[in-house]
Chains A and B, each alone.
Chain A
């Protein structure tokens, strides 16, 4: 059994599990012996801002919120590609510059299309 190459891994796994669970178990034991739990309605309320909780924690977001998230991706992806491009700018040729220009133009087109569609205005 000890010759199994996975044996040392299994030992490490058990040790890691014990390392995580031991403090939790100790804390649980401590609680059983010393500190009683005293839950109440206010303590278990959903929100923690001091005001009374109203309604459910599960709320629906407006659908235009997701459109905003998608448009945000335009800028996000743009930044991801523009930064390495800018860092290596001095060593690049005209072809790379042109490719980047086309890429940015494509993204801008997407933004212009969304703008024209009126997605940026919150209905």
Chain B
């Protein structure tokens, strides 16, 4: 099988301006992946499937990853003018101060495709796509017209992560019911608080049961006060 760099070169030769990036996997598995741009991803996918040498005609797995907004605080050395009284005379002195700055790195939703070739007997080739953010710009092109097996798994990702697949033939919730509003696999999902009866709770469940009891008590006291 071609190396990832060769595949990248082949894609760029076939689809001009595809803008494919290689995402390194620093772990021991070292399964590096190709990050596609949503604009050209559909063309690239068709090329990967139809190319005689690659012939990646089997999509084994589609999954989602949620990358929440990250708040990064870092220490920066800043030089600025400070007015000081030195020897009874007011002076402006340049001073270097260490300051903690916080910035928010916007999060995104990521979809990962694992491809194999049944005819060439090679794989996996891993594709990634990222949405612009996690709230309103969550559209990605659907791969279902290219690999039919993506249909249900893309529906699952739509259901659990909230990625909207453009061009999907039947984009409905698959595990949760119609009318359900949340996306349970997102990291900021808040589960319904129904830990009212926990006779043998421990660890995380115990903490949740205690939190539930505290909330119930607070509500009861509030009700009694009114």
A and B touch in the complex (CB under 8 A): no
Residues of B within 8 A of A (CB): none
Residues of A within 8 A of B (CB): none
